[in-house]
Amino acid sequence: MSYKSRLLQLALGGLLSVSTVFASMTNAQEVDLSPEQNSRVRAEKVEAAIKLIPAGYKFVTPGKFTVASVPGRLPFAIYASDTKTSVGSEPDLAQLVADSLGLQLELVPIAWADWPLGVVSGRFDAAIHNIIVTEERKEKFDFSTYRTDLIGFYVALDSKVKSISKPEDVAGLKVIVSSGTNQEQILLRWIEANKAKGLPATEVQYFDDEAVLDLALQSGRADAYLGPNATSAFKAAAEKKTKLVGTFSGGWPQTAEIAVATKKNVGLAEAITEALNAQIKNGNYAKALARWSLSAEAIQESRTNPPGLPKT
């Protein structure tokens, strides 16, 4: 069965949305989706990181770094052409950490909801899939940061909107956002602030179908789309129909960071942080992010357990 046939089968079975499938089929023409991943960035051992692995720590499988992965959408992760191997930006990051620690990478595809229990119970050494550091999560997990969480405003290539850098810039615009998301809450707060200043109203639009959303942007029915920068940046690079005009922290006004999650107090986080910093310093980290159009979310230094988003 071909990769595209498999995607359509998943859609018909209700495991993936039709819009996600067609987006993945488009992107599949642009990137390496082979299970071998010969184009993946690899790294040498980092002795300083290996020395930080606690003497008593037992990996799930000796000699392997077992990581929970959530195949669902690029650039984060999706199934390769063999329909069983996770490939994407997060598997690439996991590979860099595994190489640094002198271990073989073992990716375990799971549903998003299963990673917390899997890490706590010891089924996985770590979970790596766009996990944001929060104060509530820090009660059960240790974190090693590797990306900033950004939301981005994207417009059609021929749009007259050149920059959205502050709340006032959305006044008078028609903006698409997904219901129930943190970016929706940020946008609504901006609209209220602009209203108090007497600025023109912002029209908020909601679309369940990604194809309809795209059409709204291209036709001028909407001026901008506000959503997760990672997926929007990857799509913009692949399709070349939209452009970025502004980014903000996903936890605005607080900074939101994405990190490798490990079980609390097992001592593995410091070794992973050291490994990540070595890859940041030698340039492998930048190459891995660029491969998936995620350079805008790069960090200068990995940190262990930084301040997380506050409890709600």
Evaluate whether residue 278 is within a structural domain. yes
- Of 100, 123, 103, the C-alpha closest to 272 is 100
Contact 98, 110 (CB under 8 A): no
Q: 205 and 231, same structural domain?
A: yes
Evaluate whether residue 47 is within a structural domain. yes
Q: 231 and 90, same structural domain?
A: no
d(C-alpha 217, C-alpha 223), whole Å? 6
Q: Is 169 helix (H, G, I), strand (E, B) or coil?
A: helix
Q: Is 283 helix (H, G, I), strand (E, B) or coil?
A: coil
Q: 293 and 243, same structural domain?
A: no
Evaluate whether residue 17 is within a structural domain. no
Contact 250, 134 (CB under 8 A): no
pLDDT one-digit tens code per residue, 55-100:
989 999 999 999 999 998 899 999 999 999 999 999 999 999 999 9
- Contacts (Cβ under 8 Å, ≥6 apart) of 200: 171, 172, 194
Evaluate whether residue 114 is within a structural domain. yes
Residue 105, beta-bridge partner list: 65
Q: 262 and 137, same structural domain?
A: yes
Contact 16, 7 (CB under 8 A): yes
- Contacts (Cβ under 8 Å, ≥6 apart) of 128: 67, 68, 69, 90, 91, 93, 94, 97, 260, 261
Q: 111 and 85, same structural domain?
A: yes
pLDDT one-digit tens code per residue, 166-223:
999 999 999 999 988 889 989 999 999 999 999 999 999 999 888 999 999 999 999 9
Q: What is the pLDDT of residue 73?
A: 86
Evaluate whether residue 302 is within a structural domain. no
Average pLDDT (117-128) is 97
pLDDT one-digit tens code per residue, 12-50:
444 444 334 444 444 444 678 999 999 999 999 999 999
Total structural domains within the chain: 2
Evaluate whether residue 126 is within a structural domain. yes
What is the layout of strands, in order, in the sheet containing 126-127?
Answer: 104-109, 64-69, 126-127, 257-263, 141-148
Q: 139 and 35, same structural domain?
A: yes
Q: 289 and 237, same structural domain?
A: no
Beta strands in the chain (DSSP E): 64-69, 78-79, 86-87, 104-109, 126-127, 141-148, 150-156, 174-176, 203-205, 224-228, 242-249, 257-263
Q: What is the pLDDT of residue 30?
A: 60
Q: Is 167 helix (H, G, I), strand (E, B) or coil?
A: helix
Q: Which domain holds residue 117?
A: 31-149+256-297
Contact 139, 80 (CB under 8 A): no
Q: Is 279 helix (H, G, I), strand (E, B) or coil?
A: helix
Q: 157 and 105, same structural domain?
A: no
Conformation bin of residue 269: beta by default, left when phi > 0, alpha when psi is -120 to 50: alpha
Evaluate whether residue 36 is within a structural domain. yes
d(C-alpha 117, C-alpha 90), whole Å? 19
pLDDT one-digit tens code per residue, 283-307:
999 999 999 999 989 999 999 999 9
Q: What is the pLDDT of residue 72?
A: 87
Of 217, 249, 281, the position where a domain reaches its end is 249
d(C-alpha 258, C-alpha 127), whole Å? 11
pLDDT one-digit tens code per residue, 102-113:
999 999 999 999
Q: 126 and 98, same structural domain?
A: yes
d(C-alpha 237, C-alpha 73), whole Å? 15
How much is the mean pLDDT over the chain?
90
Evaluate whether residue 195 is within a structural domain. yes
Q: What is the pLDDT of residue 19?
A: 39
Q: 46 and 183, same structural domain?
A: no
Q: What is the pLDDT of residue 311?
A: 85
CATH of the domain at 265: 3.40.190.10
R_g of the chain, CA atoms, integer Å: 20
Q: 179 and 64, same structural domain?
A: no
Q: How many helices (H) and strands (E) does the chain have?
A: 10, 12
- Of 166, 150, 161, the C-alpha closest to 242 is 161
Q: What is the pLDDT of residue 208?
A: 83
Q: What is the pLDDT of residue 16?
A: 43
Q: 176 and 70, same structural domain?
A: no
Q: What is the pLDDT of residue 216?
A: 96
Contact 265, 245 (CB under 8 A): no
